[in-house]
């Protein structure tokens, strides 16, 4: 029923921001499953007319977890970053996290996210203007280059000039998107170059992989994104593995309850069955790929056309196949 891990020492964990997925309601689910040490919000877009949105304020004030929360900002105009930072200083947050790594082309075409790695002086200006005027720690989420890892040394030389609370390194290039192999050797390089905690990110799927990455790279912690969608108990499992206690393994019933919670997310507007199904699939497909990677369950989930179809498919898989038996 359980797996017993070997102690490795406490590992700092962070939930990576994922647009449209890591909402307050999903963070509340993760909290119920076992908190990471830190949550980072989905990015707040910074532009001339931007303000701190109601969603961000709701996240700060009403989330269930008592763990630290950082607010991620995405933009390129230093003066507008400062304006947003002045608003954020009125709230209790751990840090402002600067997004310098988003690889999505529609974001990059606006000159923000990962594209900022081609404008390192702009990154310097953003960090400097906030640091000089606001007493909120600043952290940076980056990749190891825009086109090539050979750019990483110069990226690090710019980041090393600043007093940062942490640097989160997704060990791929921007152009590599999510298909390029992760190379955690660059975490070692960042550790040698920076005088702040370095957090490793990129395709860490299990508690054991988290321990292995920290051991291999001497990272100060790990950030997990997509694996937490498929297995929101992963942060609990990491803590249990490193504390040499019994590791929780979810049952089919646990996963069915998770699907039900995801299906009951509140929405601002009335949604059609198609919209409800599409929204739920964003979570259900990663779950299906995780629990049945070589089976037919992921294919069935992708073919669901109504919320009831999807619920019935999940019941058929989880209850008939696993019931209250543990899945590992």
Q: How many CB atoms lie within 10 A of CB 71?
A: 25
What is the C-alpha to C-alpha distance for residues 106 and 21, in angstroms, rounded to an integer?
18
Neighbouring CB atoms inside 10 A of 153's CB total 12
- What does the pLDDT average to over 10-28? 96
What pLDDT, on the 0 to 100 scale, is given for residue 65? 97
Summarize pLDDT for 209-250 with one digit per residue, the tens.
999 999 999 999 999 999 999 999 999 999 999 999 999 999
Q: Is the pLDDT of residue 8 over 90?
A: no
Phi, psi (5° rounding) for residue 30? -60, -40
Are 95 and 136 in contact by the 8 Å Cβ rule? The answer is yes
pLDDT higher at 92 or 267? 92
Only one residue has tokens 């898989």, namely: 317
Strand-pairing partners, residue 168, are 141, 199
Q: Please check the confidence at residue 266 and state whether its pLDDT lies above 90.
A: no
> What pTM was estimated for this model as a whole?
0.93
pLDDT band with cut points at 50, 70 and 90 for residue 5: very low
pLDDT at 6: 39
> What is the average pLDDT value for the chain, to the nearest integer?
93
What's the sign of the alpha-carbon dihedral 52, 56, 58, 60?
A: negative
DSSP for 262-328, written as a single string: HHT---SS---HHHHHHHHHHHHHHHHHHH-TTSSHHHHHHH--SHHHHHHHHHHHHHHHTTTSB--
- The pLDDT of 4-15, averaged and rounded, is 72
Per-residue DSSP letters for 145-171? -SS-GGGHHHHHHHHTTS--SEEEEES
Residue 327's pLDDT band, with cuts at 50, 70 and 90, is low
């Amino acid at each position: 029923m359980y797996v017993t891990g070997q102690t490795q020492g406490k590992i700092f964990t962070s939930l990576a921001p994922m647009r449209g997925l890591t909402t307050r309601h999903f963070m509340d689910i993760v909290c119920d499953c076992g908190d990471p040490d830190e949550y980072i919000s989905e990015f707040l877009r910074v532009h001339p007319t931007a303000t701190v949105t109601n969603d961000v304020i709701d996240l700060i004030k009403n989330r269930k977890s008592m763990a630290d929360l950082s607010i991620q900002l995405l933009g390129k105009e230093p003066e507008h970053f400062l304006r947003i930072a002045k608003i954020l200083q009125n709230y209790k947050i751990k840090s402002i996290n600067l997004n310098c790594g988003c690889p999505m082309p529609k974001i990059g075409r606006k000159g923000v996210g990962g594209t900022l790695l081609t404008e390192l002086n702009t990154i310097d200006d953003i960090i400097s203007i906030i640091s000089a005027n606001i007493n909120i720690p600043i952290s940076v989420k980056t990749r190891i280059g825009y086109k090539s890892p050979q750019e990483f040394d110069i990226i690090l030389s710019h980041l090393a000039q600043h007093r940062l609370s942490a640097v989160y390194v997704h060990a791929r290039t921007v152009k590599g998107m999510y298909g390029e192999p992760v190379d955690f050797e660059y975490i070692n390089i960042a550790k040698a170059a920076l005088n702040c905690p370095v957090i490793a990110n990129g395709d860490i799927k299990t508690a054991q992989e988290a321990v292995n990455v920290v051991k291999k790279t001497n990272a100060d912690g790990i950030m997990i994104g997509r694996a937490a969608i498929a297995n929101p108990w992963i942060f609990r499992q990491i803590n249990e593995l490193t504390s040499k206690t019994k590791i929780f393994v979810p049952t089919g019933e646990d996963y069915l309850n998770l699907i039900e919670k995801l299906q009951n997310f509140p929405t601002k507007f009335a949604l059609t069955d198609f919209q409800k199904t599409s929204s739920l699939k964003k979570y259900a497909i990663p779950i299906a790929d995780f629990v049945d990677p070589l089976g037919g369950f992921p294919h069935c989930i992708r073919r669901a056309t109504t919320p009831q179809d999807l619920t019935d498919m999940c019941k058929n898989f989880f209850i008939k196949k696993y019931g209250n038996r543990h899945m590992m």
